[in-house]
A and B are shown apart, each in its own frame.
Chain A
Amino acid sequence: MREATQGSKAAPQKRFWTERLIMAVLILCSSVAILTTIGIVASLIFESIRFFQIVPITDFLFGLHWSPQMAIREDQVGSSGAFGAIPLLVGTLLISAVALTVAGPVGLMSAVFLSEYASSSVRSKIKPTLEILAGIPTVVYGFFAAIVVAPWLRRGGEAIGLDVSSESALAAGLVMGIMTIPFVSSISDDAITAVPTSLKEGALAVGSTRSEAIKKVIIPAALPGIAGGLLLATSRVIGETMIVVMAAGLTAKLTLNPLDAVTTVTVQIVTLLTGDQEFDSPKTLSAFALGLMLFTVTLALNVTALKIVKAYREQYD
């Protein structure tokens, strides 16, 4: 029967093999994602192991001093360089904290406004406008932070008698926070809209004002989703590079003062790997150890966040 409709005996045979081939190509294409992950993990671990053969891993993880410059002469003071990553971690966390202090509340409240207060016509205009912030290349934010925000802060600090560094963690963090607003806002928006309307209507029916319904019913119900979103935002802020490269400092300083200049993991990776490099020096290899650290931390944050968001979604579905 089948042969009759196909005309010849060879045709289905040929089609079978072609389809086999197509399927193989499809499988190959989808494994590129896995190859990429393997490539990332392998290259980071490989170079990191080489680094840890020169510098002990404990020195790297717990050292309080970072100055990767290797001396030119053997007998120079500090010729071994210092590779303690703690100051970089503290710097990264400081800038991230500033960024999340801005992006967290502002993003959440923007989402509250868009989902609970704004009329649908206002929402349809404001939401895409706010999303433009997410589409601007980070190098533009970096330029803005370094050329506009940092001098403003410095002058403002002078006016009230504060000594603000021209590469302060505050400037980089503020701008990074603003960049993250649409990200936090759109995830919080999803979490808020996923809360069943009956919960909100119940609260309004017993006489609570809108803000009371939002604060006491909607946000607590949406909290896991919002928390997951904030974790994702944290991971993004930690891995952000251009803003800090352009607006934060280069020298590692162990401080929690946001008016000081600090450096971050990503800044160090960029400074270590741009320009001339020899591939055996611990200076260059340390960048990969930092990269491995960055990758591990952001991966852990992402996995946790995705789990929280997913578990929460199932709760109401």
Chain B
Amino acid sequence: MTELAFKGPSAEQLRRRHLAEKRFRLFAISSVFLGLAFLGVLFIIVAISGADAVRQAKMLLTISLDVDEFEEGKNSNSAQISKADFEGFIKKSMRSSFPDAKTRRMKRELSKLVSSGAAYELREFILTNPNQIGEEITIWVTASDDVDMLLKGKLNRDLPADLRQLSDQQLLWLDQLMEQNKLEMQFNWTLFTKGDSREPEQAGIAGAMIGSFYSVMVCLLISFPLGVLAAIYLESFAPKNAWTSFIEVNINNLAAVPSIVFGLLGLAVFLNFFELPRSAPLVGGMVLALMTLPTIIIAGRAAIQSVPPSIKEAALAVGASPIQAVFHHVLPLAMPGMLTGTIIGTARALGETAPLLMIGMVAFVVDLPTTFTDPATALPVQVFLWSDMPETAFAERTSAAILVLLAFVGTLNLTAVILRNKFETRY
């Protein structure tokens, strides 16, 4: 009897408890799923948008390079060639293809189909092929970003004319060009070989990549030796006293200081006090180095800790000094672990933006930087700058820059993982 009376509520209770168990489990699984789903959505959206930036609309122009336009005709040297009116050549070519453009307004609309960078492309062409002067040449030049957007389907033809970037007449011309196969999508070399520009079709990430490369180089050159030596001292030689534990507390706290505070430090100390140049990768790298240092020290200490003391003791037993024992025997074994930490720190430095904004690496830099003190931006800063631009053509370039940045950061992290797996030794 008692058994039956007990069983009734128990079965109901059990059912409820199992239901609660299922709910809890579902909640746990969906939490993980939420994180993974966000990751997936982020990658897909950036990849789809960025893929468009790889292609760029180009236009085939037929240009007669009139000898009279060049100072010395066929014998002009580079300097003399450069003085020619390349924009004029392009305008003339466009007008001869579309003689129906008669009014001044129509002529202006016509020349707006070509990027303002086309003149530079023509100059490059003639400089490399000076023997073409006096001939009639055909050349692919970059079309304007509006034409590019139209070809990529991002510009709605059905909008009323005053709401869209291209007029009815321009659309008509473009359709004729397409019929004659004089308008097509080509690989966007500009994106990977040029610096920043106000015109999306002429903007590239090469300048930012070089800036990032220089900053990360400076960062590594400073933080790796400093970090490794500091780790060796703290782990192998430092006496256990108040000073040492003060250093340790310092390092642990520096690792958690917001990155923008390092930027403030760079601004106040490196720029205002030492008067180093603004916007320079040198200063950027120094700030990033201070930021990365705690990471490298913490990883370095862990790596030294994982080397068994017997190795050091054996070296000491056969007569090595403590310094020899550490540098000849412990350090080589701890190196893979230290490198892993350094690579992870580098990956973080590469993606860091905020401190670089503080020291002026947000300038509009067209020229590719060639030294450590030239004004430059960095890849993540370029993403920040472009994401603010109103033109739709910049949106896809921002995504492309993000993809390149993620590729670099991902490669670095992957290298760290591989290095860890390959050299991980259990003693």
Residues of A participating in the B interface, judged by any CB pair closer than 8 Å: 5, 15, 19, 22-23, 25-27, 29-34, 36-37, 39-40, 43-44, 46-47, 105-110, 112-114, 116-117, 126, 128-130, 132-133, 135-140, 142-144, 146-148, 178, 181-182, 185, 209-212, 214-215, 232, 235-236, 238-242, 245-246, 266, 269-270, 273-274, 279, 287-288, 291, 294-295, 298-299, 302-303, 306
CB distance from A196 to the nearest CB of B (A): 22
Q: Is B261 part of the contact surface with A, judged by Cβ < 8 Å?
A: yes
Q: Which residue of A lies closest to B252 (CB)?
A: A306
Complex Cα distance, B260 from A181, in Å, reads: 21
Chain B 250-288 residues near chain A, CB threshold 8 A? 250-254, 256-262, 264-265, 267-269, 272
Chain B 377-422 residues near chain A, CB threshold 8 A? 380-381, 383-384, 387, 395, 398, 402, 405-406, 409-410, 413, 417
Beyond the given pairs A106-B31, A239-B261, 15 more chain A to chain B contacts, judged by CB atoms under 8 angstroms and listed by A's residue number, are A30-B234, A43-B265, A107-B31, A109-B32, A110-B31, A116-B28, A129-B36, A130-B36, A133-B39, A139-B405, A143-B383, A236-B258, A266-B354, A270-B358, A298-B256
Whether the pair B253, A299 counts as a contact (CB closer than 8 A) is: yes
Kindly specify which of B99-107, B143-151, B290-298 makes contact with the partner chain: B290-298
Given contacts A105-B31, A246-B384, contact A137 B38 (CB under 8 A): no
Whether the pair B31, A288 counts as a contact (CB closer than 8 A) is: no
Complex Cα distance, B198 from A139, in Å, reads: 21
Q: Is B47 part of the contact surface with A, judged by Cβ < 8 Å?
A: no
Whether the pair B264, A288 counts as a contact (CB closer than 8 A) is: yes
Which residues of chain B are near A135, meaning CB under 8 Å?
347-348, 351, 409-410, 413
Given contacts A39-B269, A139-B383, A236-B256, contact A33 B323 (CB under 8 A): no
23 A–B pairs (Cβ distance < 8 Å), ordered by A: A26-B229, A26-B230, A30-B247, A33-B250, A44-B261, A110-B31, A113-B31, A130-B39, A135-B409, A136-B42, A140-B402, A211-B24, A211-B25, A212-B20, A239-B259, A239-B260, A241-B259, A242-B353, A245-B384, A269-B358, A273-B357, A274-B362, A298-B257
Q: Is B321 part of the contact surface with A, judged by Cβ < 8 Å?
A: yes
Q: Secondary structure of the B side of the interface?
A: helix
Given contacts A209-B21, A294-B258, A298-B256, contact A31 B35 (CB under 8 A): no
Q: Which of B23, B229, B410, B417 has the most CB of A within 10 A?
A: B229
Complex Cα distance, B29 from A26, in Å, reads: 49
Q: Is B46 part of the contact surface with A, judged by Cβ < 8 Å?
A: yes
Complex Cα distance, B245 from A30, in Å, reads: 12
Complex Cα distance, B402 from A147, in Å, reads: 13
Which residues of chain B are near A136, meaning CB under 8 Å?
42, 351, 406, 409
Complex Cα distance, B39 from A130, in Å, reads: 8
Whether the pair A40, B261 counts as a contact (CB closer than 8 A) is: yes
Complex Cα distance, B264 from A44, in Å, reads: 8
Whether the pair A288, B253 counts as a contact (CB closer than 8 A) is: no
Q: Is B237 part of the contact surface with A, judged by Cβ < 8 Å?
A: yes
Whether the pair B35, A209 counts as a contact (CB closer than 8 A) is: no
Whether the pair B32, A110 counts as a contact (CB closer than 8 A) is: yes
CB distance from A50 to the nearest CB of B (A): 11
Whether the pair A126, B36 counts as a contact (CB closer than 8 A) is: yes
Q: Which residue of A lies closest to B236 (CB)?
A: A26
CB distance from B348 to the nearest CB of A (A): 8
Q: Is B232 part of the contact surface with A, judged by Cβ < 8 Å?
A: yes
CB distance from B178 to the nearest CB of A (A): 30
The 7 closest A-B CB pairs, nearest first, are A239-B258, A137-B351, A43-B268, A109-B31, A211-B24, A113-B28, A26-B233
Q: Is B1 part of the contact surface with A, judged by Cβ < 8 Å?
A: no
Interface residues on B, range: 35 or more
Q: Is B108 part of the contact surface with A, judged by Cβ < 8 Å?
A: no
Contact of B294 among A5, A33, A46 (CB under 8 A): A33
Complex Cα distance, B246 from A291, in Å, reads: 23
Contact of B250 among A37, A47, A214 (CB under 8 A): A37
Complex Cα distance, B319 from A142, in Å, reads: 57
Whether the pair B28, A109 counts as a contact (CB closer than 8 A) is: yes
Complex Cα distance, B225 from A26, in Å, reads: 10
Whether the pair A126, B32 counts as a contact (CB closer than 8 A) is: yes
Whether the pair A215, B24 counts as a contact (CB closer than 8 A) is: yes
Whether the pair B39, A211 counts as a contact (CB closer than 8 A) is: no
Complex Cα distance, B225 from A25, in Å, reads: 11
Complex Cα distance, B238 from A149, in Å, reads: 50
Which residues of chain B are near A128, meaning CB under 8 Å?
417
CB distance from A311 to the nearest CB of B (A): 15
Whether the pair A113, B29 counts as a contact (CB closer than 8 A) is: yes
CB distance from A276 to the nearest CB of B (A): 10
CB distance from A127 to the nearest CB of B (A): 10
Complex Cα distance, B357 from A266, in Å, reads: 12
Complex Cα distance, B321 from A291, in Å, reads: 46
Complex Cα distance, B290 from A36, in Å, reads: 7
